[in-house]
A and B are shown apart, each in its own frame.
Chain A
Amino acid sequence: MSIARFWRETPRRYNLGGSKCTNCGTVYFPPRGVCPECTHHRQSIEKMEPFQLSGDGEVFSYSVVHEPAEGFEMQVPYILALVKTKEGPVLTGQVVDIEPKDVAIGLKVRATFRKLREEGKAGVIHYGYKFAPSEEPPTSLVPRGPMGTVPAPVASERDRAPA
């Protein structure tokens, strides 16, 4: 895999650097040199400026993937999603830190920083954005106990004597 081709995109993949057309106000990610919305491209030349996305958005569609893309083998099954950012652009990425059963269209997410893939044990590591729930996640986590205690184990059905 190409070192330069990945390195070149780090301002986009690490920092979500996009662009905005100052003619019509549309925000783009990845950044564009001309604005597709402006009727004649000449209107947008030299009118595009850098624009930083916040990383906040919501899930527009999702799929739990069982046959992985290259580099994602250790995370199967993983959640692939279309994320609509609050500034407008839609991105494609993995949703992490949530169980597949808890994902839904409309889930609020925020971009986080994770490993995308490695070129084997000796090669370069590629990093980029993935999305994590931005609100308090649901019940798939250990219940809270007061500081310093772990909840006492509850007797299971198996421990009870037969009726």
Chain B
Amino acid sequence: MKAGIVSYGAYVPRYRITPKEIGRVWGSDGEAMGQGLNVYRKSVPSPDEDTITISTEALRTALVRGAIDPQQIGAVYVGSESHPYAVKPSATVVAQAVGATPNLTAADFEFACKAGTAAIQTCLGLVGAEMVRYGVAIGTDTSQGAPGDALEYSASAGGAAFVIGREHVICSVLRTLSYTTDTPDFWRREGQKYPSHGGRFTGEPAYFRHVTECAHQVMKASGTSAKDYQHVVFHQPNGKFPQRVGRQLGFSEAQMRYGLVTPFIGNTYSGAALIGLANVLDHAGPGERILMVGYGSGAGSDGFDLETTDEIARFDRSFGKPVQWYLDQGQELTYAVYAKFRGKIHMGED
């Protein structure tokens, strides 16, 4: 494929909260919950942050790193399940904020946690068909779990932006294919504040089936097996599912290491696999092969067979923060302040 990743950037908000602190309020052993999920801390957005601001920060980082003229961007797509507006695309605000308007196409994507990877596929098509010079695909979320629900321990905020193009590609896309079915594992009806889910149904028939099937199909089409990849990134709703599916597919801890970010920042939904990929690219040298399999409830998996190029050795990451910085840092909040920041406290008249 001619099109590939030209630049990338990630952003995770500053605040954190621990499962222990959440459990303390709801009368659960939060620490045990965290261990069970392999989630130690999750990120919490400030009251003045949302999917639009996080996407903008990530994209601004990507554009500076890649020395990309924003006026050369032909498409911006923001994938999220927590867009600030139900009608009025996040992509238009992000495009304006990076100086890409007015000569471009834009739209928002939704496919639970795989809206960002779906956007990458679309950009690959536009760039490959030479309809645009650069396409931007962003996956960002500030999702919430219902108070006291299992999802509250992991649902967090963050995002990553990928610039797709044909020039100075730092990571080429050898192949992408997807596996999609109508599977109601996790959903949110229009107007509802929090999502609903099928409990254990979200496991085998949903996440594992789609990720495994998609991974097999990518490797079959590429004639590869797990040992051919230096890195693997999965969608990661917690820190356990990706480790289990990785082992099932024959991947080692070392291969999964950089792609696994959820234990330190929580499940950033549409951002999760993309932030994992960003962390891999932060650490990768030239000629390293990467398998990425995203997953979105509803359900579907997008698989990517990627390989870094020689260009990545010249790629300047000095602007913005490396993903590792966001994994290591964070200011812990009490549940009360977290609830205030996340709008869970009733403020009176609506």
B40, B41, B48, B50 — which one has the most chain A CB atoms within 10 A of its CB? B48
Judge whether B48 and A115 touch: CB under 8 Å: yes
Given A15-B97, A140-B331, A144-B329: A150 touches B40 (CB 8 Å cut-off): yes
Number of B interface residues in the complex (CB < 8 A): 32
Judge whether B46 and A96 touch: CB under 8 Å: yes
Judge whether B46 and A113 touch: CB under 8 Å: no
Q: How far is the CB of A131 from chain B (nearest CB, A)?
A: 12
**Bound state CA distance, A57 and B268, in angstroms?**
31
Given A125-B84, A142-B329, A142-B332: A113 touches B16 (CB 8 Å cut-off): no
Which residue from chain A places its CB closest to the CB of B97 in the assembled complex? A14
Within 8 Å of chain A (Cβ to Cβ): is B99? yes
**Bound state CA distance, A11 and B341, in angstroms?**
28
Cβ < 8 Å to A, chain B residues 321-345: 324, 327-332, 340-341
**Bound state CA distance, A140 and B332, in angstroms?**
10
B41, B56, B85 — which one has the most chain A CB atoms within 10 A of its CB? B56
Judge whether A114 and B96 touch: CB under 8 Å: no
Q: Which residues of A contact B57 (CB under 8 A)?
A: 112-113
Number of A interface residues in the complex (CB < 8 A): 25
Given A113-B57, A150-B40: A142 touches B330 (CB 8 Å cut-off): yes
Cβ < 8 Å to A, chain B residues 192-232: none
Which are the 4 A-B pairs with shortest beta-carbon distances?
A74-B47, A114-B48, A113-B56, A115-B48
A-B contact pairs, 5 of them (CB 8 A): A74-B340, A74-B341, A120-B350, A127-B52, A147-B324
Within 8 Å of chain A (Cβ to Cβ): is B93? yes
Contact with B along A107-147 (1 / 0, CB 8 A): 00000111110001100010100100000000011101101
Within 8 Å of chain B (Cβ to Cβ): is A22? no
A113, A120, A125 — which one has the most chain B CB atoms within 10 A of its CB? A113
Within 8 Å of chain A (Cβ to Cβ): is B310? no
